[in-house]
Structure 1
């Protein structure tokens, strides 16, 4: 006997053998059992999903002659052994007329077909017309078919099959019961292929079946045909390497390896994996497409783990990978991948485009998170957990007694200051880079120009740490006080003098005296040892200076945190993180800040360390811990305080404009309307 291909050998012969399409199977079985049969059925779906198979099973159900069925002989479980069933399976049943509409499109063919409809069946109970690819019929053929399709003789059933139902006239669709067959998911194809190969005693690797299931693209017939080809290619075995070579597809394990390199932020490994891929001559555009598809699955895994597509049979691997990325990184990488795919047409070559796209993902990932944190699955709207804590040593330790104490005098602004969350004030020394933590201390004040010293706004306190004088000795408290008092008693500049006039460059060994108008703030600030910003008529007793210096070691409460926030000199992501914190506890050794849960993604060790170092500059040397959690309802964060102040100032500006007589005159004369969203306070408008 000649070899019979798997697709024909394993074609289902009853409804219970049918793989998938349960929605169609249920409707047909119930209709057969209840005797509620329609005269015309339309099966739609892509190739190889079972349209013709369903029609033949239905023909057997209508014509099975086995005993024990109902009064009319119709059954939903054909025996498969009677003459009618065997004839239908072998394709020689006289009353099953199969027509290929693709080869018989003319109206003459349709009329010839319909001439025999009126005659009773010869062998079976019903005469069944199976018209495959019915959408290929001409318009005249459809018109000739309409009347018979609507009112056929009682012994005739029409079974129509098509892969393109949109091409059918609405008049045909309205005369049929339509069933849409679904594509086969890879999981179902792999399960069926494993069952077939076990029955055929053929060895196989499950990963090879997943390659076949993906290549079949939803068609069970294509999957069976590819399996036949794989058996021949692998000399009776279905192996992963053989199937990958036969299909010429990219090994999905290489794509996962690239994603793992992204998770580890390992650029050398990333380029090494691409170099190994290049040896196989892949389509690098397809590699990037597969990577973005994996990133999409990672995003789904983070939000809804149960909804992860298992088309590659790697669901557990994807879930494990998803926990190694932050949700922000996955979204960023996906967007960069999509944009990189569009840029490939302009790249020198596809490999270069792929490498640049992947390196761009690493280059633009949020800085300040040195290693991706473990992401619990699924993501929640608000979760709590511990955050990285700065080490006890180094910057976390209190300064020794020999270290100078930072201090400064206070100055009151002559105009409203900027919003606390505005641009950070210019410091008297450049901010250190994240990579260079060794240059945290600003240069001595006598090495700065007056403009640099006065760079912060008048509302800000310029802080310059005390340094040894050029002679090498540190002045005692009494010497500093005497020098400061002597400088204060000297005739000084006028309140409205320019910066250059207010404070000439400090000479060696001298103490520069800088004046600022306005009363001193209520909260005393530490006295600056190198520079004094007191009013010329103010007296600073030595006891008050010592008390101010001692106050720098006091416990940090939330009021002091709000008042000193702008003087910390924080910027960028670190400032944004700190602006959403409130002081929870301070026992003198350990300071705990409570972080708004919505900002938990920014919480990283490097930001904690920067905030800790900034607090040390105002005399708060503690081990710092920033923990996310619910904030007290009545306590403002620096960000909330800044927003409230900005809203109040905006409301005052709007009210002032509404009271302005010129504005009222414009409104009355021209019907003008004040657009409140464009109103800015005076100092904000000047900066704009």
Structure 2
């Protein structure tokens, strides 16, 4: 007796034995039990997920001698004949090789005859998307209103190519890809029935290689049985599939944990010596990083039968979750960029070095974000005699407002470099005010140590040179401004939306106060007055008036704005340019002598 491959030998004979398609089984079971039978079914899904199996099960349920049932007996003549693919009233047609209108017409001519010995004549058209447009048009009427004894079952891997007129005439069921865990459980049962020794991690590797297809998984299992002489081991399956040894990936992560670039390059060289695929290596590394992230966020979702389970748990404690997310992104981009690299070795090594370089906290002094100390070879030494860095205290901007009398008082300029304090740069030496200068000094600042510093030490003026106290009350500033808001808005150094806010607003009112200036503006639309734009405008006004500024806005119709002034200026320039061209003597002579005319909107001012 000839050998029957596992994919055919273990094809499900009942709905209960079908794996991974519970949603379809439930719908068909309820329809059969309630006798609500449709005349056309469409099964869609990738290869090897059960489209043909479901069509045969449905044909058995419709023609079983016990009656229309969701549990065919499997022992009657109709059930046995359908399982053996010799039932005369169950016709399977391959649309890939019978795709023309002549083939469809021949099928429809036979459809008018009643079934020979069955309750229903079932037509199963596989890969129906391969039919021509004429073939689809020919079957539309029969598909919509077939004889009561005809059932159509269509199957396809590409439903997008099927006309909508066909889809609307069918009950459509989308078959899902098989999860690896369900494939492993099914392969376990099959190999136990076949009495073949196996290792559970090897079955997981076969399930991952099947990419969601049960038929591919069974075919790979057949191949593994032949390759291993009846002992399906992990190492043999890895060799058969050309899979990367996971020890390489574990060593890569160990090198990243130790911040050891030389170890990473040694691993890449070993892989090059064995001619291993760098693309597959990055793919498997991404899968391993994904499992480590699962172990960190959802440990129960991680299968405990993985061969590298212990290493995954170790890396989950070694790396921070942020590092895993960063590594995963680098690996995915690195794999996509392999084709752009000078060669695959360079692309792979640069991906490893990128992960090494961008580890949070690993290339900095002290411990990283995840609480682990940085590697010793990344500690940066400071030259002897150089002071250790300290955090700079954040100082509030001091108002630079002075009264009119103070502005008129001439500043005292330092003429000798020796007279400069040691904290003043020679190239940027400011003018030193006289002792009677009453300009406002900045408030006391808090240094990084928490100690309060006198304001005069920050401003560069010795405390003994002034009789003024740091906390003296401010006098009301005197601002010299012509209140021309459009001119001011046009002169402010702003860009983008902040510039549009300044130039499209109208000044409603403004006033001076002890704490600075207050501007109330009217904006034409609320989207201009978002906090980010207002903050930029306030900063520009503070630099312009050298004092604190507060800006409030309201939405309404605007009148006098910088934008309106700019439009009027452009219109005036345009009119001037057009008048210049029209009054030009040469242009006038061309109009008189040759009947020339000026093209509208072609004149642009220079």
**Distance between the aligned counterparts of 2:2 and 2:214, measured in 1?**
23
Q: Is the 8 Å Cα contact of residues 305 and 319 (structure 1) preserved in structure 2?
A: no
Which residue of 2 is the match for residue 500 of structure 1?
A: 417
Match of 1:328 among 322, 326, 329: 322
Match of 1:673 among 474, 497, 505: 505
Say if 1:46 and 1:459 are closer, same or farther in 2 by CA, change over 3 A: closer
Counterpart check, 1:249 vs 2:166: no
Say if 1:370 and 1:245 are closer, same or farther in 2 by CA, change over 3 A: farther
Match of 2:381 among 418, 425, 436: 436
Structure 1 unaligned regions, length at least 5: 67-72, 375-386, 390-432, 444-455, 461-493, 507-514, 527-531, 540-651
Which structure is richer in relative contact order (CA contacts within 8 A, separation 6 or more)?
1
Q: Is the 8 Å Cα contact of residues 111 and 150 (structure 2) preserved in structure 1?
A: yes
Structure 2 unaligned regions, length at least 5: 389-393, 399-410, 424-431, 446-451, 455-459, 468-475, 491-501, 507-532, 547-606
Say if 1:533 and 1:61 are closer, same or farther in 2 by CA, change over 3 A: same
Counterpart check, 1:120 vs 2:114: yes
Counterpart check, 1:222 vs 2:216: yes
Say if 1:175 and 1:664 are closer, same or farther in 2 by CA, change over 3 A: closer
**Distance between the aligned counterparts of 1:685 and 1:300, measured in 2?**
55
Which structure 2 residues correspond to residues 75-474 of structure 1 after superposition, within 5 A? 75-296=69-290, 298=292, 302=296, 318=312, 320-341=314-335, 343-367=337-361, 368=364, 435-436=380-381, 439=384, 442=387
**Distance between the aligned counterparts of 1:160 and 1:36, measured in 2?**
19
Which residue of 2 is the match for residue 662 of structure 1?
A: 484
**Distance between the aligned counterparts of 2:240 and 2:422, measured in 1?**
81
Can you list the C-alpha shifts for 1:503-530, whole angstroms capped at 9, x where unaligned?
Answer: 4889xxxxxxxx996899779759xxxx
**Distance between the aligned counterparts of 1:213 and 1:656, measured in 2?**
79
**Distance between the aligned counterparts of 1:221 and 1:178, measured in 2?**
22
Which structure 2 residues correspond to residues 2-41 of structure 1 after superposition, within 5 A? 2-41=2-41
Q: Is the 8 Å Cα contact of residues 214 and 312 (structure 1) preserved in structure 2?
A: no
Can you list the C-alpha shifts for 1:209-241, whole angstroms capped at 9, x where unaligned?
Answer: 122111111110011011101110111111222
Displacement of 1:14 after TM fit? Answer: 0.3
Displacement of 1:338 after TM fit? Answer: 4.3
Q: Secondary structure at the match of 1:351?
A: helix
Counterpart check, 1:57 vs 2:47: no
Say if 1:666 and 1:263 are closer, same or farther in 2 by CA, change over 3 A: closer
**Distance between the aligned counterparts of 1:505 and 1:315, measured in 2?**
64
Can you list the C-alpha shifts for 1:68-121, whole angstroms capped at 9, x where unaligned?
Answer: xxxxx1111111111111111111111111111222122222222222222222
**Distance between the aligned counterparts of 1:680 and 1:332, measured in 2?**
36
**Distance between the aligned counterparts of 2:232 and 2:274, measured in 1?**
21
Q: Is the 8 Å Cα contact of residues 214 and 311 (structure 1) preserved in structure 2?
A: no
**Distance between the aligned counterparts of 1:328 and 1:684, measured in 2?**
40
**Distance between the aligned counterparts of 2:217 and 2:40, measured in 1?**
30
Q: Is the 8 Å Cα contact of residues 325 and 372 (structure 1) preserved in structure 2?
A: no
Can you list the C-alpha shifts for 1:557-587, whole angstroms capped at 9, x where unaligned?
Answer: xxxxxxxxxxxxxxxxxxxxxxxxxxxxxxx
- State the TM-score, normalizing by the size of structure 2: 0.65
CA-atom RMSD in angstroms: 4.4
**Distance between the aligned counterparts of 2:149 and 2:380, measured in 1?**
86
Say if 1:30 and 1:260 are closer, same or farther in 2 by CA, change over 3 A: farther
Displacement of 1:357 after TM fit? Answer: 2.1
Counterpart check, 1:45 vs 2:45: yes
**Distance between the aligned counterparts of 2:68 and 2:299, measured in 1?**
46
Q: Is the 8 Å Cα contact of residues 131 and 160 (structure 1) preserved in structure 2?
A: yes
Say if 1:226 and 1:537 are closer, same or farther in 2 by CA, change over 3 A: closer
Say if 1:125 and 1:325 are closer, same or farther in 2 by CA, change over 3 A: same
Q: Secondary structure at the match of 1:78?
A: coil
**Distance between the aligned counterparts of 1:62 and 1:14, measured in 2?**
13
Displacement of 1:439 after TM fit? Answer: 3.9
Displacement of 1:307 after TM fit? Answer: 6.3
Displacement of 1:296 after TM fit? Answer: 4.9
Which structure 2 residues correspond to residues 591-630 of structure 1 after superposition, within 5 A? none
Aligned residues: 458
**Distance between the aligned counterparts of 2:545 and 2:239, measured in 1?**
69
Say if 1:216 and 1:11 are closer, same or farther in 2 by CA, change over 3 A: same
Displacement of 1:201 after TM fit? Answer: 0.8
**Distance between the aligned counterparts of 1:172 and 1:328, measured in 2?**
50
Q: Secondary structure at the match of 1:229?
A: helix
Q: Is the 8 Å Cα contact of residues 259 and 291 (structure 1) preserved in structure 2?
A: no
**Distance between the aligned counterparts of 2:487 and 2:422, measured in 1?**
53
Q: Secondary structure at the match of 2:93?
A: strand
Displacement of 1:168 after TM fit? Answer: 1.1
Q: Secondary structure at the match of 1:116?
A: helix
**Distance between the aligned counterparts of 1:114 and 1:94, measured in 2?**
16
Q: Secondary structure at the match of 1:16?
A: coil
Q: Is the 8 Å Cα contact of residues 126 and 155 (structure 1) preserved in structure 2?
A: yes
Say if 1:369 and 1:344 are closer, same or farther in 2 by CA, change over 3 A: farther
